[in-house]
Amino acid sequence: MITIPLIKKIAELFLILFATAALVKTGVFRADYSKVLSRISLYFVTPCVVFNSFQKELTPEVQQGLLTAVGLAVVFQLVFFLVAAILRRVWKATEVERASIVFTNAGNLVIPLVAYVLGQDWVIYVSAYILVFNVMFWTIGVRMFDSESAFSLKKVLLNPNILAVLFGLLLLFTGISLPEPVAIAFSDVAGMIGPLSMMITGMVVGSMKFRDMFANRRIFGVLFFRMILCSGLAVLLAAVTGLAGSNALGKAIVMIPLLSAIAPSASNINQVAILYNRDAPYASAINVLTTLSCIVTIPLWMWLFDVFVGG
């Protein structure tokens, strides 16, 4: 049963979040520190995590697991895009709302959860989801905010997270191993991802007044569509595919992209909303509220997945 260790790790991460928020409230930290830490997380720590996850032997089992994780990631993302497209018509969902429903915080939150609950060797399957996420976010996702600019393949390929996946795959398929000091350096930086991501969110929480998070009442709709509707669809799809019972490792492999699919709204959305002047405070409020809600929703959905697939 994965639910208990999952709850323990989520509780540990949120202690860091609340402690950081308290330090902001008391003036020890400033809220704008989060901008610098976000850049460090997005362009340095996360790529190290992704790259480090590919430092393993490519066995037939790993290859099959990667294909399964990528396939599920694509399916989940397409379903979320469909939900967002429907909501654009029937609920008049804005760019921020649609992006918050489609894209999840797969890297910052799920990587430390998987590393803790299953072990570092399983992070490679989170990277498979992150690959799909980054391609879709930096193409379709960004165009939600900037529909006038032409698509730039160069920008996508030069994104540090995409480069980390590409070079990681290169080493994985060639069997090349990094020198030990380099490998240790990557591993040490990668270990920062959980606490750092919670500190960043904690700074945002600490800078906001509680009532400000609910200034736009539509936030409850976004919370429902992201954490309940889309997450429920992901659990249902993961269960009905039968992939969890395909082999001895099937359940764990399916669970990893599923965890990524039921995670809170992506923190990247805040940064893009700032860049394109698309209601960044609302985007931040969505990120904070969905992140806080996952204390309950993630263990609940994973328990239901356990019930559906057995074992």
Amino acid identity, residue 246?
S
pLDDT for 113-157, tens place per residue?
Answer: 888 788 878 888 988 898 898 788 877 887 888 766 666 677 777
Beta strands in 113-247 (DSSP E): none
pLDDT at res. 1: 54
260/234 Cα distance (integer angstroms): 10
This prediction has a pTM of 0.88
Could you write out the DSSP letters of every residue in 22-67?
A: HHHHTTSS-TTHHHHHHHHIIIIIHHHHHHHHT-S---HHHHHHHH
Domain CATH number, residue 19: 1.20.1530
pLDDT for 12-47, tens place per residue?
Answer: 888 998 999 999 999 999 988 888 887 888 789 888
Q: Which of 204, 198, 206 is nearest to 27 (CA)?
A: 206
3-state secondary structure of 152: coil
17-21, 55-59, 62-66: range with lowest mean pLDDT: 55-59
* pLDDT bracket for residue 287 (50, 70, 90): confident
Which DSSP state fits 104? B
- 277-292 average pLDDT score: 86
5-9, 10-14, 26-30, 96-100: range with lowest mean pLDDT: 5-9
pLDDT at res. 46: 82
- What total of structural domains would you count in the chain? 1
Range of the domain at 260: 3-309
